[in-house]
Structure 1
C-alpha cells in the first residue's frame, strides 16, 4: 500500500478521482441550492395567497378584488380524472401486450417505438394535434379535448412502466402457471400483473403527476373559463392555464392567485411522486 502511494501514476489517478468527486459534489450542491431557492420563493409567496376564498370562489374579473381558483381547481380535477380513466386501461393493456407478445411481433416492435417517440414528444405538439383533429372540427374548445390531449401524454408513461414491471416477474413463476394448464392470457393478467400491481400503480401515479401541470396542450384544447362550469363540452378553467395567464397580468391579486395555484400544483405533484416512490420501494422489496 505504501509502495502504491509512492507510485506517481497512482497518485495522479487518485488526484483526478478526487477532482471528479469534488465536481460531482459541487454540481449536486448547485442543483439543490437552485431547487431550494425556487421552493423557498414559492412557499413564501404561495402561502400568502392560501385562504378559504382560494378554494370557494371563482377567478375574479380583470381589475376586481378578491376571488379564488375554485373553478380552475374543479376543472383540472375533472380533466385529469377523465384522462386518467381513459389512459389507465389503455396503457396497462398495451403494456401487457408488449410484455407477452411484443418481443417477436412486428406490431409490438412498432408499438414500442411509437411509445418511445411519444414519451419524448413536446406537449405542445400533442396539443396542436388534438386541436387539428378535434377542436378545429367541432369549432369550439372543450374539456373533452383537454382530457384527450393530456391522456395522450399519460398513455406512453403507463405503457412503458407496465411493460418494464411485467418483465421483472421471474420466468419460473410464469412456467409454474403454464405447467398448471393456465392459458396465456390468464398467466398475463392473474399471475404476472398481480405480482407487480404496486409497480403498475406507480406508473399510473407518475403519469398523473406528469399531466397535472401541463399547460401547452390545454391552451389549444380546453382554453379557459372565467366562470364555474362542469360542462365538459365547453371551454373549461384549469389551474395550469390560469397560472400562466394570471402570472403575466398587471393586477396584483391575479399574480397572488397565480402563486397560490402554483403552490397547489407543486404540492400535489410532490405528494404523487412521494406516493409513487413509496409503492415502487415496496415493489422492489417484495
Structure 2
C-alpha cells in the first residue's frame, strides 16, 4: 500500500514537472514582451497612425484595423468551406472522394505559410499587378480551412450515432439530420474551433508579406496594399529607429492580447456549452 502511494506521488511529481517545463518558455516569452512592450504601449499607439520618419510617436491603428479586416474576410471564405468539408469527411466517410479530400487537406495543413503566400502572390498579385488586402485574405483562408475542417470533423465524431439514428427514425432526411441535429445543436463547439483557427492565423506574417505587403496609411480598401499587425511588427523590428523598435514590441503585445482574447472567447463558449 505504501509503495503504491509513493509511486503515485512520484508520477504526479513527474507530470507536474513536465507541465512546468512546458509552460516556462511561454511564460518567459510573455514576460519579455511585457517588459519590452510596456514602454511604448499607450492609447496613442492603438488609436493613431504612423508619423513621418524621424518624428517620435505615432501608432499602429492602421495595422490593427487591417489585420482584423483581412482575417475577418478570410474567415468568410474559409469557415463555410471548412465546415462543409468537415461534415463531408465525418458523415460520408465511405465516399470515394473522402481519401483524396483528406489527403489534400492534410497536405495543405502541412504546407509552410510562406509557400501559401508565394502561391497567392502568383495567382492574385501578379495577374492584378498590385498587392492587396484581398490577396492577403485569400492566403490566410488557405491556412484557416484545414484547421476548421479538422476541428469540425473531430467535434462531429464525438456525437453519438444514436442521435443520427433517432433523427432518421423520425423521418428526417440525412440533410436535415446534419443541419438541425449535428450543426445547429453543436454550433457552439463548432464556433470554438473557428475562433481557435482565427487565433492561430492572426499572427501569420509570411503570407501577408507576399500579398497585402503593407501600407503606412489608414485604409479599408481591400483592393490595394493594406497594413497588418504582423508585417508592421516585422518592419518596425528590423528598422534602425529606436522609437519604431519600441513600437514593434508594443505591437507584439497588442497581437498577444488579441490572440488571448480569441482563445479566451473560445474557452468561454466551451464553458457555457458544458453548463447547458
Does the TM-score normalized on the shorter chain lie above 0.5? yes
Contact between 1:169 and 1:195, CA under 8 Å: does it hold in 2?
Answer: no
1:247 aligns with 2:237: yes
2:88 aligned counterpart, secondary structure = helix
Unaligned runs of 5+ in 2: none
Tell me the distance in 2 between the aligned counterparts of 1:94 and 1:52: 42
Tell me the distance in 1 between the aligned counterparts of 2:20 and 2:84: 42
Contact between 1:169 and 1:196, CA under 8 Å: does it hold in 2?
Answer: no
Tell me the distance in 1 between the aligned counterparts of 2:52 and 2:146: 38
Q: Evaluate the alpha carbon distance shift between residue 181 and residue 24 of structure 1 in structure 2; reply closer, same or farther with a 3 A threshold.
A: closer
Contact between 1:61 and 1:226, CA under 8 Å: does it hold in 2?
Answer: no
Aligned to 1:157: 147
* Structure with greater Cα Rg: 1
Q: Evaluate the alpha carbon distance shift between residue 218 and residue 182 of structure 1 in structure 2; reply closer, same or farther with a 3 A threshold.
A: same
1:143 aligns with 2:165: no
User: How far 1:90 moved relative to its partner?
Assistant: 1.2
User: How far 1:104 moved relative to its partner?
Assistant: 0.8
1:30 aligns with 2:46: no
Q: Evaluate the alpha carbon distance shift between residue 23 and residue 174 of structure 1 in structure 2; reply closer, same or farther with a 3 A threshold.
A: closer
Aligned to 1:52: 43
Decide which of 95, 98, 103 is 1:113's aligned counterpart.
Answer: 103
Decide which of 220, 226, 238 is 2:228's aligned counterpart.
Answer: 238
Aligned to 1:202: 192
Decide which of 75, 79, 82 is 1:84's aligned counterpart.
Answer: 75
Greater mean deviation of Cα atoms: 203-212 or 57-66 = 57-66
TM-score by length of 1: 0.88
Decide which of 52, 55, 59 is 1:64's aligned counterpart.
Answer: 55
* Aligned residues between the structures: 275
Unaligned runs of 5+ in 1: none
Aligned to 1:97: 88
1:196 aligned counterpart, secondary structure = helix
Q: Evaluate the alpha carbon distance shift between residue 280 and residue 111 of structure 1 in structure 2; reply closer, same or farther with a 3 A threshold.
A: farther
Tell me the distance in 2 between the aligned counterparts of 1:125 and 1:21: 43
Tell me the distance in 2 between the aligned counterparts of 1:177 and 1:32: 44
TM-score by length of 2: 0.91
